[in-house]
Chain A
Amino acid sequence: MFADTRGLKALLTWLFLWTAVYSAFSQTSSRLTPATVESQTERIARLEQAVTEAKSSADNSWMLVSSALVLLMTGPGLALFYGGLVRKKNVLATMMQSFALMAIVTILWALIGYSLSFGSGNSFIGAFDHIFLRGVGVQPDAAYSATIPQQTFMVYQLMFAIITPALITGAFAERMKFSAMVLFMIFWSIVVYDPMAHMVWGKEGLLNAALGGRFPTLDFAGGTVVHVTSGVSALVCALYLGKRVGYPREPMPPHSVVLSFIGACLLWVGWFGFNAGSALAASPLATSAFVATHFGAAAAALGWGSAEWIRNGKPSTLGTISGAVAGLVAITPAAGFVSPMSALAIGLIAGVVCYLMVAQVKSRFGYDDSLDAFGVHGVGGTIGAILTGVFASRAINPIFKDARGNAMGLGILDGNAGQLLNQLVGVVIGWILAAVGTLIILKVVDLAIGLRVTEGHEIQGLDLSQHGEEGYNFEVSA
């Protein structure tokens, strides 16, 4: 068959040539084929996705740590701080109030609290879009934070919702029925906290500076939402419930400043989660807030301690740690808006003013705000919110922008004198909501089950009368 080799040679030559040309073309023109164009776009998209995930991962990890830090502030921070300040017979009852709120507020938050605070309602309150945490999952809610799961945001905010009512317990320490406290706090969380949180931080919130509220109040981490509301409510509670049996004649010194000291240190450290975490990202702004927080605490500690040194001849441990707490309270609304030097100023002012509040004003008016919840949180928060209007600076946080995207002044020293008015609006709304809401709730609970323990139970101590326990059983027998 192949005796005639001319045909075979022609076939082989043709085969060879065709193969050569094909392979040459398929190498040099590969980017023109549809299959490879798609893989390049795909690769870029996958890269963008990875970058987003990495950024989200960094933000999320900081936010989860911050959430844990804020919870630590309540348990055991505040529990110890308050626990050490009361008499031995009431130590457990005082700590129990904070701990119970860790559980109760969590349930409320999950059922409706988060929805009312951060759902889409109106300028005053959220709605039921996130009832039972519906729709709160892995997807970020861009209005609040585009890089972290909404569930992280929810649980972070929960820790704020927990500590705020816990702060109030300082006002009615040593005389409030546990059952009455539980009922009171359930109402308070819904009626006072959720609306205030919504107005300052929620969508369409009346006071929301970040989302275009009508009266934008600069409140970075909750000076109004947490401290003004709890502090003013504390004052109302102290006035309504009346003084402790024997106050002010009988001496009622703290049974353990040691416990209070430990609590205060935990509060200071935990506050980094409270303030720096309010940047909602692992960002330079978080660093700025972290530094401002720390500086505010330090300056205030020295302010209170120095004031005592001058007035009493000795700086006390309790005074100095209380000063630090006052400074942390005051820097809370300002943390993400002010420079480190401004933070020192704010802290110093708060430390001195809160000292005077507690050492002089309280005794002059004679009300029994047992653990100075109003003197430190109410007053400290008010001072802080007002000073935020003075010291806030666009150089730290350009939150106000004009139509062309240029940063506008934030506080008086930054060229925006009008902001002080907005700060006052926020503060006054906080005061009124807290005072009126608390008064109504107190009345309702008082009529329903009574607020105060009996005199006999108060003298016996709440640990035994409310909880059947004693805090310390350093017994004589072996």
Chain B
Amino acid sequence: MTKIEAVIQTSKLEAVKTALHEIGAEGMTVLEARGHGRQKGHTEFYRGREYTVDLIPKIKLEMVLADDMVERAVEAIVNAARTGQIGDGKIFLSKIDEAIRIRNQERGVSAL
């Protein structure tokens, strides 16, 4: 089982969700986040003072998938979220030790 963490632009959430549903990946957790890689922020003005905002709003998607689905999911996310500009985001993959369904305590891939 592999965990996918994808940090994407906030405007791309709908497209990514749709793309993932189309390939059959349905469980996901969506978090509102702020951050930056190499993307510059923007400046705001209040009462004559300049404020540099360099933590940009992002969406973070987390999902745990069976290993045989991961590549298709990554491809779906990349195609839906890419604009070609700096700030498109990143995807991280990590191994998951165990998954448990709370309702009936099922374990392993069938819990996903």
Closest to B51 in A: A251
Inter-chain contact A359/B48, CB cutoff 8 Å: yes
A316 CB-CB contact with B under 8 Å:
yes
A174 CB-CB contact with B under 8 Å:
no
The distance in angstroms between the C-alpha atoms of A324 and B37, with both chains bound, is: 40
Inter-chain contact A316/B49, CB cutoff 8 Å: no
- For the residues of A in contact with B, the DSSP-based class is helix
Inter-chain contact A358/B48, CB cutoff 8 Å: yes
Q: Which of A248, A314, A318 contacts B46 (CB 8 A)?
A: A318
Interface string of A234-278 (1 = CB under 8 A from B): 000000000000001001011001000000000000000000000
Which of A253, A254, A257, A360 has most B Cβ within 10 Å? Answer: A253
A319 CB-CB contact with B under 8 Å:
yes
A363 CB-CB contact with B under 8 Å:
yes
Q: How far is the CB of B45 from chain A (nearest CB, A)?
A: 5
Tally the A-B contacts, defined by beta carbons under 8 Å.
31
A312 / chain B contacts, CB cutoff of 8 Å: 45
B48 / chain A contacts, CB cutoff of 8 Å: 319, 355, 358-360, 362-363
A219 CB-CB contact with B under 8 Å:
no
Task: Mark out the residues of chain B between 30 and 62 whose CB falls within 8 Å of any chain A CB in the assembled complex.
Answer: 44-49, 51-52
Inter-chain contact B47/A363, CB cutoff 8 Å: no
Q: How far is the CB of A390 from chain B (nearest CB, A)?
A: 27
Inter-chain contact B49/A308, CB cutoff 8 Å: no
Q: Which of A248, A316, A362 contacts B45 (CB 8 A)?
A: A316
Q: How far is the CB of A387 from chain B (nearest CB, A)?
A: 23
A372 CB-CB contact with B under 8 Å:
yes
Closest to B52 in A: A251
Interface string of B63-80 (1 = CB under 8 A from A): 000000000000000000
A322 / chain B contacts, CB cutoff of 8 Å: 47
A308 / chain B contacts, CB cutoff of 8 Å: 45
Inter-chain contact A314/B45, CB cutoff 8 Å: yes
B-binding residues in A (CB < 8 A): 85, 248, 251, 253-254, 257, 308, 312, 314, 316, 318-319, 322, 355, 358-360, 362-363, 372
Offer 15 A-B interface pairs, CB within 8 angstroms, sorted by A. A85-B47, A251-B51, A253-B44, A257-B46, A308-B45, A316-B45, A318-B47, A319-B45, A322-B47, A358-B47, A359-B47, A359-B48, A362-B48, A363-B48, A363-B49
Extra A-B contacts (9), CB below 8 Å, given A308-B45, A316-B45, A359-B47 = A85-B47, A251-B52, A253-B44, A253-B46, A254-B46, A312-B45, A322-B47, A359-B48, A360-B48
